[in-house]
Amino acid sequence: MAEELKIGVVSCSGEDCLGGTISRLATRKMLDEVRPDKTVTICLPLFLAGGQEERMFAKTFPTIAVDGCNKACAKRATEKYSGKVNGTILVSDIIGDTVSESAALSTRDVTAEHQTMVDKVAAEITKQFDAILNANSKNQAGSTATSCGCSCSGGCG
């Protein structure tokens, strides 16, 4: 039986701007609500402070980097320490540069307007997430079908 695929969603820490807060909340939404059984994440700074276990992260899981601003820390750090990401989200492309670059927001001050931004970003993550899942399913089906030609998962060889 094929191992169930999980996807890593790696968010920037987001202390410099609102886009970072939205990144964090959208990533948490993936973990809590949208794809709770299939989403994994780690703290981005663990890539530097952590050991091999953390750095194996993106080698083990397909990853989507979610960045609040064009410094693209999540994408750059993941690719520097672990490997190429499978998807990227730049929040400023979704909510606009000016809004994204405004001051970082406490979760205490999140408004309905901010929540709408979170939902939009989470929707984009979901789109990329599902595309990766679908591509993986097709690959698995393809490799099973070609392994011995009878879709037996290799058991008749």
Partner 1 sequence: MSINEKVKVIPCSGMGKVFGLMAREAALRTVGQLCPDKAETMCLAYVVTGDAEAEAGIDGKPCITIDGCPKMCSAKSVAIIGGDIKEEFKVLDIMKEHKGAQPGTATELTTDGWTIVDKIAATLHERVQQIHGEGR
Interaction site with partner 1 (CB under 8 A):
11-16, 20, 24-25, 27-29, 31-32, 41-50, 71, 73-74, 76-77, 80, 103-108
Of the candidates 83, 51, 86, the residue with the CA atom closest to the CA atom of residue 65: 86
Q: Which is nearer to partner 1, 36 or 142 (CB)?
A: 36
> Element (H or E) spanning 65, and its range?
strand 63-67
Token representation of residue 130: 């599902």
Least CB distance to partner 1 at residue 69 (A): 9
Q: Which is nearer to partner 1, 18 or 132 (CB)?
A: 18
Q: Which is nearer to partner 1, 116 or 134 (CB)?
A: 116
Least CB distance to partner 1 at residue 68 (A): 8
Residues with Cβ < 8 Å from 84, sequence gap 6 or more?
A: 58
Least CB distance to partner 1 at residue 106 (A): 5
- Is the Cβ–Cβ distance between 139 and 145 less than 8 Å? no
- Is the Cβ–Cβ distance between 39 and 31 less than 8 Å? yes
